[in-house]
Amino acid sequence: MSLRNIAIIAHVDHGKTTLVDELLKQSGAFRENQRVVERVMDSNELEKERGITILAKATSVVWNDVRINIVDTPGHADFGGEVERILSMVDGAIVLVDAAEGPMPQTKFVVGKALKVGLRPIVAVNKVDRPDGRADEVVNEVFDLFAALDADDEQLDFPILYGSGRDGWMNVNPEGPADEGLAPLFDLIVKHVPEPTVAEGAFSMIGTILEANPFLGRIITGRIHSGSIKPNQPLKVIDRDGKLLEQGRVSKILAFRGIERQPIDEGKAGDIVAIAGLTKGTVADTFCAPEVDEPLQAQPIDPPTVTMSFIVNDSPLAGTEGDKVTSRVIRERLFKEAEGNVALRIEEAEDKDSFHVSGRGELQLAVLIETMRREGFELAVSRPRVVMQKDDAGSLLEPIEEVVIDVDEEHSGVVVQKMSERKAEMTELRPSGGNRVRLVFLAPTRGLIGYQSELLTDTRGTAVMNRLFHDYQPYKGEIGGRSSGVLLANEAGEAVAYALFNLEDRGPMVIDAGEKVYEGMIVGIHTRDNDLEVNVLKGKKLTNIRAAGKDETVKLTPPIRMTLERALSWIQDDELVEVTPKSIRLRKLYLDPHERKRFEKSRANVA
């Protein structure tokens, strides 16, 4: 059976995973009576909730005696570490773009990587049934994008299909007909995508996806570069420099058949398989026969741009809601995560109670924290900080991102003002249809931390912001921080409604009545720029004299509920987010007021 390996590239929410659902259905990968969940490739609980693909996954379909291996790639640049490796496994790419939004920054990010490795793309314009669709303009934008990314003549001569992934059809005409389903897409893949190129020699493969299986141990997925492999065959693992990491035997070879992975008797060159039985080999290592000495070249990975401290939870409420609280279990979990995710970097601090975790962006780190809290971990995390670099002359360089904001025209003024305060430079302003404008900026990553929620407030929820790492540039100078101080609890106990009611004129609260608090915990946002200690435990004084009028029931203004991402971006450098399986609390780094004053003094002296 001949083979085709293809990746699907698209921006977040352009319908990539839904299209894969339909490809599986129409190729007969499901039984007729099989109950199929929606977005079958988003297997992770967080992926289903957020509607984004976080982990790259492979599947396989058979069309007219051709096996097509399909890889669903993440559309978010924060998970770009997955994307770079995936592209080394495939020979073609479907670039899926929304008929209204057109190519977006994350599409540009992945397409740039795909064109660089020489893949010839197929462009599929999705959601042509949208009332604001503009399919022809979008095709022109895609061509301009490819040209800007230095595509060669062959890559610029791309075939185009139009359709709706949700309704399960694609055609060379935007109007249809839709009755052929996805057959035109299948046929085009078979015709346009070349068969995998196979090298001569003994077995070799680069590891691209790593996962842990409770029954089989470490499973590594990759495309076989040369040779073939059978169960129980001896193997060795070498790193990028050719150093031997381990030797062992393959216990099982699994291949994708539909959405299921099934054991096979032999994996041949060109196919995408998963192998089990080795304990140390990881992503970007070469898995090969004992006689092979030269490692295969792996794609270089972009450096991390954001770092955070993960600290053992030392608050008075530590250990009351989670069962994994010690530095040992947190350390094990973080290093296990770093094994499979090459875009993450973990460093242990000198005190052994905290870890510096660096990644591509706030979202990637927030997803890791959210996953850990669901597993029962308790920890405190600091505000994200950017990873600086130095050039040859010793000057400080900081990461710069390309930011694309689509917003209603009436709100564009406030967006430009706020972005310029964050040291951003506008590079483009153009109408994007329907009284909306597209603003493109080059902005320091520092200035973008925490801007998402502010942007939605300023634009009444109408703005869409997309970010993409651009490069490192000279340090842009100081950027102003949060303008308001915080309200801090001055003792431990349970918050009382009467006390919260009387504090409402000091600023909005972030806790509700009945919640447990402790000294140094943030309970509200101060209306002024200084921090204020308040008593949230103070009840109403009771007397034995009946009041003349009936006591009014205290009506509290609902508190501001901090999500994990919002909390991380809102806190300052001297504050932490305490994360447990049940709660997200905000607190000061130093809970004792005297220690806080000493810390402030030392910081003032340094400044």
Alpha-helical (H) ranges within 8-121 are 16-26, 45-50, 80-86, 105-116
Q: State the amino acid at position 284 in one-letter form.
A: A
Closest to 312 in 3D by CA, of 287, 348, 271, 359: 348
Q: What pLDDT is attached to residue 57?
A: 62
**CB–CB of 298/88 below 8 Å?**
yes
Q: Name the burial class of residue 253, with classes exposed (0-12), middle (13-18) and buried (19+) by CB atoms within 10 angstroms of its CB.
A: buried
Whole-Å CA distances, 190 to 22, 88, 92, 330, 472? 17, 19, 10, 47, 41
Task: Enumerate the β-bridge partners of residue 211.
Answer: 219
From the first residue on, what is the mean pLDDT of each consecutive set of 10 residues in the chain (607 residues)? 86 75 73 38 45 56 87 58 71 89 74 85 90 88 87 91 89 84 91 89 86 80 90 90 89 82 88 87 85 80 82 91 90 82 82 85 82 91 89 88 87 92 90 82 87 82 79 86 87 91 92 92 92 89 62 77 85 91 92 88 75
User: Rounded distance, CA 269 to CA 17, Å?
Assistant: 27
Same domain, 504 and 556: yes
Annotated binding site: 13-18, 126-129
Query: Has residue 363 been placed in a domain?
Result: no
Domain end among 288, 315, 342: 288
- Identify whether residues 166 and 22 lie together within a single domain: yes
Same domain, 116 and 184: yes
Q: Is residue 331 part of a domain?
A: no
Beta bridge partners, 149, equal none
Residue 526, domain CATH? 2.40.50.250
Residue 416 lies in a domain: yes
Annotated binding site for GTP: 13-18, 126-129
| Domain presence at residue 417 | yes
Of 1, 34, 38, whose CA–CA distance to 20 is shortest?
Answer: 38
Contact (CB, 8 A) for 224 and 205: yes
Residue 177 shares a structural domain with residue 45: yes
In a domain, 504, yes or no: yes
Together in a domain, 163 and 208: no
Residue at 514 is within a domain: yes
In a domain, 55, yes or no: yes
Say yes or no: 492 and 470 in one domain.
no
**Last residue in a domain, options 172, 192, 212:** 192
Number of domains in the chain: 4
Same domain, 455 and 594: no
CATH number of the domain at 188, please.
3.40.50.300
Find where tokens 């295969």 sit. Answer: 296
- Same-domain check for residues 210 and 177: no
Q: Both 31 and 160 in a single domain?
A: yes
Q: Are both 121 and 216 inside the same structural domain?
A: no
Q: Where are the beta strands (DSSP E) in 151-208?
A: 160-164, 169-171, 204-206
Whichever domain contains 272, its CATH number is: 2.40.30.10
Tell me, yes or no, whether 158 lies in a domain: yes
Range of the domain at 560: 486-606
Domain match, 464 and 517 both:
no
Q: What is the CATH number of the domain that holds 403?
A: 3.30.70.240
Of 192, 227, 258, the residue at which a domain comes to its end is: 192
Indicate whether 65 and 156 sit together in one domain. yes
